[in-house]
A and B are shown apart, each in its own frame.
Chain A
Amino acid sequence: QVQLQQSGAELVKPGSSVKMSCKASGYTFTSYYIYWIKQRPGQGLEWIGRIGPGSGDTNYNEKFKGKATFTVDKSSSTAYMQLSSLTPEDTAVYYCAREDGTYYYSFAYWGQGTLVTVSS
């Protein structure tokens, strides 16, 4: 079965960077885009962007350009998102998700989320 396993919670200082992971299993990693979504505490969901693991093709929400960087390691079926120049506004749970053509390419599978807390 499709699973997306995300890395653990991070406590980081303002101005620093953080890199989180999303390990995929149960399917051919290079065949589906991986999406990244942000959810601030008590707030709604925000689309950060996506990466195609096979091609390395990326699309970023303009709002997150310069903030987020997507990479993949095909050998380990893992997608990564790095966030830079962190501020308290970056404190959030970050989800990875995968689309599925069976479900009209909606986000059918989600990781459990990585909580990033930015605090001095």
Chain B
Amino acid sequence: DIQMTQSPASLSASLDEIVTITCQASLDIGNWLAWYQQKPGKSPQLLIYGATSLADGVPSRFSGSRSGTQYSLKISKLQVEDTGIYYCLQHYSAPYTFGAGTKLELK
């Protein structure tokens, strides 16, 4: 199985701060990487697909990047509504695997 090592596990940041979350894949997964945001009691919502493309309706302060097998999600100016848990997903090879999640809170 492909392992997705996500860091940090938790993060506390201030309004307007730049936030970066990373996922390291254990194998080459190309661009088969998506990022999700999950709010308490809600289903995950797609933010980024194909490693770098912004999903419909997602604010432009979110962006995704790739360097080899390392993937990053960046929030350029943290807003109140960005709190929640973020997950990466590799859907290159079954079993598809998620990162362990990053809990993002406001400082």
Contact = CB atoms under 8 A, between A and B. Distances in A.
B98 A104 contact: no
Contact of B100 (A44, A107, A110): A44
Interface of B: 31-32, 34, 36, 43-46, 49-50, 53, 55, 87, 89, 91, 94-101
Interface in A26-82: 35, 44-47, 49, 59, 61-63
Given A45-B44, A111-B43, A113-B43, A106 B98 contact: no
A95 B89 CA distance: 15
Contacts of A46: 98
Interface in A97-120: 99, 103-108, 110-113
Main SS of the interface on chain A? Answer: strand
| B interface secondary structure, majority | loop
A77 B89 CA distance: 26
Contact of A44 (B53, B91, B94, B101): B101
Contacts of A108: 46, 49, 55
A40 B89 CA distance: 17
24 contacts: A44-B100, A45-B44, A45-B98, A47-B94, A49-B95, A61-B95, A63-B95, A95-B44, A99-B91, A103-B49, A103-B50, A103-B55, A104-B50, A105-B32, A107-B36, A107-B46, A107-B91, A108-B49, A108-B55, A110-B43, A110-B45, A111-B43, A112-B43, A113-B43
